[in-house]
Structure 1
Amino acid sequence: MTLLAHDRYCDQIAHQVAGLRAVVTSGTDLSATVPTCPDWSLEQLVRHMGGALRWVELLVRTRAQEHVPDERVPMHDGPEARGDAAALDAWLGETGEMVVGTLREAGPDAKVWGWAGTPSSGFWARRMTHEITVHRADATLTAGLPYDVAPDVAADALDEWLEIVEYIQRNVPHRAANEFHGPGRAIHLHATDTAPELNAEWIVELLEDGVAWRRGHERATVALRGPLTSVLLAFFRRLPLNSPELEIVGERELLEFWLERATFG
Protein backbone atom coordinates (compact mmCIF):
# COMPACT_ATOMS: atom_id res chain seq x y z
CA MET A 1 0.00 0.00 0.00
CA THR A 2 1.37 3.42 -0.98
CA LEU A 3 1.96 5.70 2.00
CA LEU A 4 1.59 9.46 2.03
CA ALA A 5 4.76 11.53 1.82
CA HIS A 6 6.59 12.06 5.12
CA ASP A 7 6.12 15.82 4.86
CA ARG A 8 2.38 15.27 4.37
CA TYR A 9 2.21 13.43 7.68
CA CYS A 10 4.20 16.17 9.39
CA ASP A 11 1.95 18.85 7.91
CA GLN A 12 -1.11 16.96 9.08
CA ILE A 13 0.14 16.59 12.64
CA ALA A 14 0.64 20.36 12.73
CA HIS A 15 -2.82 20.88 11.24
CA GLN A 16 -4.50 18.51 13.67
CA VAL A 17 -2.71 20.04 16.67
CA ALA A 18 -4.04 23.44 15.58
CA GLY A 19 -7.53 21.96 15.35
CA LEU A 20 -7.27 20.43 18.81
CA ARG A 21 -6.03 23.73 20.22
CA ALA A 22 -9.06 25.44 18.69
CA VAL A 23 -11.29 23.11 20.70
CA VAL A 24 -9.34 23.81 23.90
CA THR A 25 -9.79 27.57 23.45
CA SER A 26 -13.40 27.40 22.21
CA GLY A 27 -14.89 27.89 25.65
CA THR A 28 -15.99 24.27 25.92
CA ASP A 29 -16.00 22.97 29.49
CA LEU A 30 -12.73 21.05 29.90
CA SER A 31 -14.40 18.80 32.48
CA ALA A 32 -17.04 17.68 29.97
CA THR A 33 -17.19 13.93 29.41
CA VAL A 34 -16.03 12.81 25.97
CA PRO A 35 -19.02 10.84 24.58
CA THR A 36 -16.84 8.58 22.42
CA CYS A 37 -14.30 7.98 25.24
CA PRO A 38 -16.54 8.19 28.33
CA ASP A 39 -13.73 7.37 30.76
CA TRP A 40 -12.11 10.71 29.91
CA SER A 41 -12.96 14.36 30.28
CA LEU A 42 -12.03 16.69 27.45
CA GLU A 43 -8.98 17.83 29.40
CA GLN A 44 -7.87 14.25 30.01
CA LEU A 45 -8.22 13.51 26.30
CA VAL A 46 -6.07 16.50 25.38
CA ARG A 47 -3.42 15.60 27.96
CA HIS A 48 -3.38 12.02 26.68
CA MET A 49 -2.86 13.18 23.10
CA GLY A 50 -0.24 15.76 23.97
CA GLY A 51 1.60 13.24 26.13
CA ALA A 52 1.63 10.72 23.28
CA LEU A 53 3.10 13.33 20.94
CA ARG A 54 5.82 14.23 23.47
CA TRP A 55 6.61 10.55 23.95
CA VAL A 56 7.05 10.07 20.21
CA GLU A 57 9.14 13.22 19.97
CA LEU A 58 11.55 11.80 22.58
CA LEU A 59 11.65 8.39 20.88
CA VAL A 60 12.54 9.90 17.51
CA ARG A 61 14.92 12.60 18.76
CA THR A 62 16.97 10.11 20.78
CA ARG A 63 16.62 7.34 18.15
CA ALA A 64 15.39 5.06 20.94
CA GLN A 65 15.82 1.35 20.27
CA GLU A 66 13.46 0.20 22.99
CA HIS A 67 10.28 1.34 24.67
CA VAL A 68 10.66 4.48 26.80
CA PRO A 69 8.48 4.76 29.94
CA ASP A 70 6.17 7.77 30.11
CA GLU A 71 7.82 9.03 33.27
CA ARG A 72 11.03 9.70 31.35
CA VAL A 73 9.27 12.13 29.00
CA PRO A 74 9.56 15.78 30.13
CA MET A 75 6.16 17.45 30.63
CA HIS A 76 4.42 14.26 29.49
CA ASP A 77 1.37 14.93 31.68
CA GLY A 78 0.99 18.57 30.75
CA PRO A 79 0.81 21.72 32.85
CA GLU A 80 0.32 21.44 36.61
CA ALA A 81 -2.72 23.72 36.60
CA ARG A 82 -5.97 21.86 35.94
CA GLY A 83 -8.88 23.45 34.12
CA ASP A 84 -6.67 26.21 32.70
CA ALA A 85 -7.41 26.39 28.97
CA ALA A 86 -4.64 28.91 28.29
CA ALA A 87 -1.97 26.76 29.95
CA LEU A 88 -3.23 23.62 28.21
CA ASP A 89 -3.26 25.41 24.85
CA ALA A 90 0.30 26.71 25.30
CA TRP A 91 1.57 23.24 26.27
CA LEU A 92 -0.17 21.67 23.29
CA GLY A 93 1.22 24.31 20.93
CA GLU A 94 4.75 23.75 22.17
CA THR A 95 4.24 19.99 21.91
CA GLY A 96 3.16 20.24 18.29
CA GLU A 97 6.14 22.35 17.33
CA MET A 98 8.51 19.93 19.05
CA VAL A 99 7.21 16.73 17.49
CA VAL A 100 6.78 18.14 13.99
CA GLY A 101 10.25 19.66 14.06
CA THR A 102 11.82 16.44 15.26
CA LEU A 103 9.99 14.30 12.68
CA ARG A 104 10.97 16.64 9.85
CA GLU A 105 14.61 16.60 10.95
CA ALA A 106 14.64 12.80 11.19
CA GLY A 107 12.99 12.13 7.83
CA PRO A 108 11.07 8.88 7.31
CA ASP A 109 13.94 6.37 7.52
CA ALA A 110 15.65 6.99 10.87
CA LYS A 111 15.85 3.79 12.90
CA VAL A 112 13.56 4.10 15.90
CA TRP A 113 11.87 1.49 18.06
CA GLY A 114 8.27 0.79 17.03
CA TRP A 115 5.65 -1.62 18.26
CA ALA A 116 4.15 -2.77 14.95
CA GLY A 117 7.13 -4.26 13.17
CA THR A 118 8.18 -1.01 11.46
CA PRO A 119 11.11 0.45 13.45
CA SER A 120 11.38 3.86 11.81
CA SER A 121 10.56 7.52 12.31
CA GLY A 122 8.22 7.25 9.33
CA PHE A 123 6.08 4.76 11.25
CA TRP A 124 5.66 7.28 14.07
CA ALA A 125 4.83 10.16 11.73
CA ARG A 126 2.02 8.10 10.22
CA ARG A 127 0.86 6.69 13.57
CA MET A 128 0.63 10.09 15.23
CA THR A 129 -1.14 11.59 12.21
CA HIS A 130 -3.98 9.13 12.57
CA GLU A 131 -3.95 9.04 16.37
CA ILE A 132 -4.57 12.77 16.54
CA THR A 133 -6.95 12.74 13.57
CA VAL A 134 -9.26 10.39 15.48
CA HIS A 135 -8.80 12.05 18.87
CA ARG A 136 -9.54 15.47 17.36
CA ALA A 137 -12.83 13.92 16.29
CA ASP A 138 -13.44 12.93 19.92
CA ALA A 139 -12.73 16.50 21.02
CA THR A 140 -14.80 18.23 18.34
CA LEU A 141 -17.76 15.92 18.95
CA THR A 142 -17.53 16.80 22.64
CA ALA A 143 -17.54 20.50 21.81
CA GLY A 144 -20.28 20.20 19.18
CA LEU A 145 -18.00 21.67 16.51
CA PRO A 146 -17.77 20.66 12.83
CA TYR A 147 -15.24 18.04 11.83
CA ASP A 148 -13.71 16.99 8.54
CA VAL A 149 -10.61 15.19 7.28
CA ALA A 150 -8.71 15.53 4.02
CA PRO A 151 -9.67 12.57 1.78
CA ASP A 152 -6.13 11.24 1.35
CA VAL A 153 -5.58 11.32 5.10
CA ALA A 154 -8.89 9.63 5.86
CA ALA A 155 -8.19 6.87 3.34
CA ASP A 156 -4.71 6.31 4.74
CA ALA A 157 -6.14 6.17 8.27
CA LEU A 158 -8.39 3.29 7.22
CA ASP A 159 -5.45 1.53 5.55
CA GLU A 160 -3.35 1.90 8.68
CA TRP A 161 -6.10 0.63 10.98
CA LEU A 162 -6.55 -2.48 8.86
CA GLU A 163 -2.79 -3.02 8.86
CA ILE A 164 -2.83 -2.80 12.67
CA VAL A 165 -5.61 -5.39 12.83
CA GLU A 166 -3.53 -7.71 10.64
CA TYR A 167 -0.43 -7.16 12.77
CA ILE A 168 -2.24 -7.79 16.06
CA GLN A 169 -3.84 -10.95 14.72
CA ARG A 170 -0.55 -12.37 13.48
CA ASN A 171 1.81 -11.31 16.28
CA VAL A 172 -0.03 -10.59 19.52
CA PRO A 173 -2.22 -13.12 21.34
CA HIS A 174 -5.63 -11.44 21.43
CA ARG A 175 -8.95 -13.22 21.97
CA ALA A 176 -11.00 -10.73 19.95
CA ALA A 177 -8.59 -10.87 17.02
CA ASN A 178 -8.81 -14.66 16.97
CA GLU A 179 -12.57 -14.38 16.54
CA PHE A 180 -12.05 -12.79 13.12
CA HIS A 181 -11.33 -16.19 11.62
CA GLY A 182 -14.33 -17.32 9.60
CA PRO A 183 -15.74 -18.96 6.49
CA GLY A 184 -15.23 -16.26 3.90
CA ARG A 185 -17.44 -13.40 5.08
CA ALA A 186 -16.57 -9.90 3.91
CA ILE A 187 -17.17 -6.23 4.76
CA HIS A 188 -17.20 -3.59 2.04
CA LEU A 189 -16.43 0.02 2.98
CA HIS A 190 -17.55 2.41 0.25
CA ALA A 191 -16.93 6.16 0.31
CA THR A 192 -19.53 7.82 -1.89
CA ASP A 193 -18.09 11.35 -2.12
CA THR A 194 -14.54 10.93 -3.38
CA ALA A 195 -12.86 11.08 -6.77
CA PRO A 196 -12.46 7.68 -8.47
CA GLU A 197 -8.68 7.96 -8.53
CA LEU A 198 -8.58 7.85 -4.72
CA ASN A 199 -10.11 4.36 -4.84
CA ALA A 200 -11.75 4.91 -1.44
CA GLU A 201 -13.30 1.48 -1.16
CA TRP A 202 -12.12 -1.46 0.92
CA ILE A 203 -12.88 -5.17 1.10
CA VAL A 204 -12.20 -6.75 4.49
CA GLU A 205 -12.41 -10.54 4.47
CA LEU A 206 -12.74 -12.80 7.51
CA LEU A 207 -11.16 -16.02 6.27
CA GLU A 208 -10.24 -19.31 7.88
CA ASP A 209 -6.66 -18.12 8.34
CA GLY A 210 -7.58 -14.62 9.49
CA VAL A 211 -8.26 -11.13 8.19
CA ALA A 212 -7.26 -10.06 4.69
CA TRP A 213 -8.06 -6.74 3.07
CA ARG A 214 -7.55 -4.77 -0.11
CA ARG A 215 -8.80 -1.65 -1.83
CA GLY A 216 -11.55 -2.26 -4.35
CA HIS A 217 -15.23 -2.56 -5.21
CA GLU A 218 -16.68 -6.07 -4.82
CA ARG A 219 -19.80 -7.73 -3.51
CA ALA A 220 -19.60 -8.51 0.19
CA THR A 221 -21.63 -9.87 3.07
CA VAL A 222 -22.28 -6.32 4.27
CA ALA A 223 -21.47 -2.88 2.89
CA LEU A 224 -21.06 0.37 4.80
CA ARG A 225 -21.64 3.32 2.47
CA GLY A 226 -21.44 7.07 3.02
CA PRO A 227 -19.15 10.11 2.87
CA LEU A 228 -15.53 9.14 3.53
CA THR A 229 -15.24 11.05 6.82
CA SER A 230 -18.43 9.39 8.07
CA VAL A 231 -17.24 5.93 7.02
CA LEU A 232 -13.94 6.60 8.80
CA LEU A 233 -15.64 7.72 12.01
CA ALA A 234 -18.09 4.82 11.97
CA PHE A 235 -15.30 2.28 11.42
CA PHE A 236 -13.43 3.80 14.37
CA ARG A 237 -16.62 3.62 16.47
CA ARG A 238 -16.93 7.41 16.65
CA LEU A 239 -20.20 7.62 14.69
CA PRO A 240 -23.28 5.45 15.26
CA LEU A 241 -24.15 3.10 12.45
CA ASN A 242 -27.69 4.50 12.39
CA SER A 243 -26.44 7.98 11.50
CA PRO A 244 -28.50 9.39 8.59
CA GLU A 245 -25.49 9.90 6.34
CA LEU A 246 -24.61 6.20 6.47
CA GLU A 247 -26.20 3.29 4.62
CA ILE A 248 -25.77 -0.38 5.50
CA VAL A 249 -26.55 -2.99 2.87
CA GLY A 250 -26.55 -6.68 3.77
CA GLU A 251 -25.86 -8.40 7.09
CA ARG A 252 -25.50 -5.59 9.60
CA GLU A 253 -24.66 -8.17 12.28
CA LEU A 254 -21.28 -8.86 10.66
CA LEU A 255 -20.34 -5.18 10.75
CA GLU A 256 -21.41 -4.97 14.40
CA PHE A 257 -19.43 -8.15 15.13
CA TRP A 258 -16.32 -6.50 13.69
CA LEU A 259 -16.77 -3.19 15.50
CA GLU A 260 -17.30 -4.89 18.86
CA ARG A 261 -13.99 -6.72 18.53
CA ALA A 262 -11.66 -4.35 16.69
CA THR A 263 -10.91 -2.35 19.80
CA PHE A 264 -7.16 -2.88 20.08
CA GLY A 265 -4.24 -0.89 18.68
Structure 2
Amino acid sequence: MDLHRAAAPAWWVRRRLHEATVHRAAAAVSRSGRRFPIDPQWAADGVSEWLGLLAARPAADEPPLADGATLHLHATDDVPDGAGEWMVRGAVGRVVWEHGHGKGDAAVRGTAADLLQGVTRRIPADDDRLQVLGDAGVWTGWLARTGF
Protein backbone atom coordinates (compact mmCIF):
# COMPACT_ATOMS: atom_id res chain seq x y z
CA MET A 1 0.00 0.00 0.00
CA ASP A 2 1.29 3.45 -0.92
CA LEU A 3 1.29 5.36 2.40
CA HIS A 4 1.53 8.72 0.67
CA ARG A 5 -1.74 8.08 -1.15
CA ALA A 6 -3.41 6.81 2.01
CA ALA A 7 -2.37 9.92 3.98
CA ALA A 8 -3.39 12.42 1.30
CA PRO A 9 -7.17 11.97 1.71
CA ALA A 10 -6.92 12.35 5.51
CA TRP A 11 -4.96 15.59 5.10
CA TRP A 12 -7.50 16.93 2.64
CA VAL A 13 -10.48 16.00 4.81
CA ARG A 14 -8.87 17.72 7.82
CA ARG A 15 -8.17 20.85 5.73
CA ARG A 16 -11.70 21.00 4.34
CA LEU A 17 -13.33 20.45 7.75
CA HIS A 18 -11.34 23.26 9.36
CA GLU A 19 -12.01 25.56 6.41
CA ALA A 20 -15.74 24.81 6.57
CA THR A 21 -15.75 25.37 10.34
CA VAL A 22 -14.29 28.88 10.16
CA HIS A 23 -16.58 29.83 7.27
CA ARG A 24 -19.62 28.45 9.10
CA ALA A 25 -18.68 30.38 12.24
CA ALA A 26 -18.24 33.61 10.25
CA ALA A 27 -21.57 33.09 8.49
CA ALA A 28 -23.39 32.46 11.78
CA VAL A 29 -22.04 35.67 13.27
CA SER A 30 -22.83 37.78 10.21
CA ARG A 31 -26.30 36.30 9.87
CA SER A 32 -27.51 36.34 13.45
CA GLY A 33 -24.80 38.07 15.47
CA ARG A 34 -24.50 34.93 17.58
CA ARG A 35 -21.37 32.92 18.14
CA PHE A 36 -21.08 29.56 16.47
CA PRO A 37 -19.93 26.97 19.01
CA ILE A 38 -16.72 25.14 18.13
CA ASP A 39 -15.44 22.34 20.32
CA PRO A 40 -12.19 23.53 22.02
CA GLN A 41 -10.21 20.45 21.01
CA TRP A 42 -11.38 20.76 17.39
CA ALA A 43 -10.62 24.49 17.35
CA ALA A 44 -7.14 23.88 18.80
CA ASP A 45 -6.49 21.34 16.06
CA GLY A 46 -7.58 23.99 13.55
CA VAL A 47 -4.99 26.43 14.94
CA SER A 48 -2.31 23.72 14.73
CA GLU A 49 -3.32 22.84 11.18
CA TRP A 50 -3.19 26.52 10.15
CA LEU A 51 0.26 26.94 11.71
CA GLY A 52 1.42 23.81 9.90
CA LEU A 53 0.32 25.25 6.58
CA LEU A 54 2.14 28.50 7.29
CA ALA A 55 5.30 26.68 8.39
CA ALA A 56 5.31 24.71 5.13
CA ARG A 57 5.42 27.87 3.01
CA PRO A 58 8.70 28.79 1.35
CA ALA A 59 10.75 31.61 2.85
CA ALA A 60 9.24 35.03 2.16
CA ASP A 61 10.75 38.47 1.64
CA GLU A 62 8.25 39.76 4.18
CA PRO A 63 7.72 36.85 6.58
CA PRO A 64 4.93 36.73 9.18
CA LEU A 65 7.49 37.19 11.98
CA ALA A 66 10.94 38.74 11.90
CA ASP A 67 13.82 36.35 12.57
CA GLY A 68 13.81 35.48 16.24
CA ALA A 69 10.49 37.22 16.97
CA THR A 70 8.04 35.10 18.94
CA LEU A 71 4.28 34.86 19.22
CA HIS A 72 2.60 32.85 21.97
CA LEU A 73 -0.98 31.70 21.44
CA HIS A 74 -2.78 30.51 24.57
CA ALA A 75 -6.22 28.90 24.65
CA THR A 76 -8.00 29.75 27.90
CA ASP A 77 -10.35 26.77 27.80
CA ASP A 78 -9.47 23.20 28.64
CA VAL A 79 -7.62 21.57 25.76
CA PRO A 80 -5.93 18.30 26.76
CA ASP A 81 -2.28 17.36 26.41
CA GLY A 82 -0.93 20.90 26.05
CA ALA A 83 -2.53 21.19 22.61
CA GLY A 84 -3.98 24.59 23.51
CA GLU A 85 -0.72 26.54 23.57
CA TRP A 86 1.59 27.37 20.71
CA MET A 87 4.98 29.05 20.50
CA VAL A 88 5.62 30.48 17.04
CA ARG A 89 9.01 31.91 16.02
CA GLY A 90 10.35 33.64 12.94
CA ALA A 91 13.29 31.76 11.43
CA VAL A 92 15.10 32.80 8.24
CA GLY A 93 12.03 34.13 6.43
CA ARG A 94 9.75 31.31 7.63
CA VAL A 95 7.92 30.35 10.79
CA VAL A 96 8.45 27.38 13.04
CA TRP A 97 6.11 26.39 15.84
CA GLU A 98 5.59 23.90 18.60
CA HIS A 99 3.07 23.27 21.33
CA GLY A 100 4.18 24.77 24.59
CA HIS A 101 4.07 27.62 27.02
CA GLY A 102 6.62 30.41 26.91
CA LYS A 103 7.12 34.13 26.86
CA GLY A 104 6.67 35.67 23.46
CA ASP A 105 7.18 39.18 22.11
CA ALA A 106 3.40 39.10 21.94
CA ALA A 107 0.93 36.72 23.54
CA VAL A 108 -2.65 36.29 22.42
CA ARG A 109 -5.11 34.68 24.82
CA GLY A 110 -8.66 33.57 24.16
CA THR A 111 -10.75 30.46 23.82
CA ALA A 112 -9.47 27.98 21.26
CA ALA A 113 -12.44 28.87 19.04
CA ASP A 114 -11.66 32.58 19.28
CA LEU A 115 -7.97 31.95 18.56
CA LEU A 116 -8.91 29.91 15.50
CA GLN A 117 -11.13 32.71 14.26
CA GLY A 118 -8.42 35.25 15.12
CA VAL A 119 -5.56 33.53 13.29
CA THR A 120 -7.78 33.01 10.25
CA ARG A 121 -8.83 36.69 10.43
CA ARG A 122 -12.53 35.95 10.94
CA ILE A 123 -12.55 38.33 13.90
CA PRO A 124 -10.56 41.57 14.12
CA ALA A 125 -7.12 41.66 15.73
CA ASP A 126 -8.42 43.94 18.48
CA ASP A 127 -11.63 41.99 19.16
CA ASP A 128 -12.58 41.90 22.85
CA ARG A 129 -12.57 38.09 22.75
CA LEU A 130 -8.79 38.17 22.33
CA GLN A 131 -6.41 39.52 24.94
CA VAL A 132 -3.14 40.73 23.40
CA LEU A 133 -0.20 41.12 25.76
CA GLY A 134 3.20 42.55 24.88
CA ASP A 135 3.94 44.04 21.47
CA ALA A 136 0.56 44.24 19.71
CA GLY A 137 2.41 45.08 16.47
CA VAL A 138 3.75 41.51 16.36
CA TRP A 139 0.16 40.22 16.36
CA THR A 140 -1.17 42.71 13.79
CA GLY A 141 1.90 42.22 11.57
CA TRP A 142 1.44 38.46 11.77
CA LEU A 143 -2.18 38.79 10.66
CA ALA A 144 -1.30 41.17 7.82
CA ARG A 145 1.20 38.66 6.41
CA THR A 146 -0.56 35.32 6.89
CA GLY A 147 -3.43 35.46 4.43
CA PHE A 148 -4.06 32.95 1.68
| TM-score under structure 1 length normalisation | 0.50
Cα deviation, residue 244, structure 1: 2.1
> Which of 105, 114, 132 is equivalent to 1:221?
105
After superposition, the CA RMSD in angstroms is: 2.0
The number of residue pairs the alignment matches comes to 144
Does the CA-based 8 Å contact 1:201-1:216 persist in structure 2? Answer: yes
SS at match of 2:56: helix
What is the aligned partner in structure 2 of residue 178 from structure 1?
Answer: 61
User: Which residue of structure 2 aligns with residue 159 of structure 1?
Assistant: 48
Higher helix share: 1
CA distance in 2, matches of 1:195, 1:160: 15
Q: 1:195 to 1:134 in 2, by over 3 A?
A: closer
Counterpart code for 1:187: L
- Identical-pair percentage: 33
The aligned counterpart of 1:140 is 28
* Residue 124 of structure 2 corresponds to residue 240 of structure 1: yes
List, as ranges, runs of 4+ consecutive aligned residues in structure 1 with deviation greater than 3 Å: none
Q: State whether structure 2 residue 70 is matched by structure 1 residue 212.
A: no
- In structure 2, relative to structure 1, the CA distance for the partners of 1:188 and 1:111 (3 Å cut) is same
Q: For each residue in 1:133-186, what CA deviation from the matched residue of structure 2 results, as whole angstroms up to 9, or x when unmatched?
A: 11101211121233111122111111111111122225xxxxxx4312633000
Flag the structure with larger Rg.
1
Q: CA deviation at 1:209?
A: 4.9
3-state SS of paired residue (1:197): helix
Which structure carries more strand by proportion?
Answer: 2
2:14 matched residue in structure 1: 126
Q: Which has the higher contact order (CA 8 A, sep 6+)?
A: 2
Q: Which residue among 66, 74, 80 is the counterpart of 1:190?
A: 74
TM-score under structure 2 normalisation?
Answer: 0.87
Question: Runs of 5+ in structure 2 lacking a partner?
Answer: none
Q: For the residues of structure 2 that align with 1:263 and 1:205, how far apart are their CA atoms?
A: 17
Aligned-partner Cα distance in 1 for 2:119–2:24: 16
In structure 1, which of residues 233, 243, 252 is the aligned counterpart of residue 136 of structure 2? 252
Q: How does 1:35-114 map to 2 (within 5 A)?
A: 111=5
Q: Tell me which moved more, 208-217 or 191-200.
A: 191-200
| Gapped regions of structure 1 (runs ≥ 5) | 1-108, 113-118, 171-176
Give CA-to-partner distance per residue, 1:33-63, whole Å, 9 cap, x none. xxxxxxxxxxxxxxxxxxxxxxxxxxxxxxx
SS in 2 for 1:189: strand
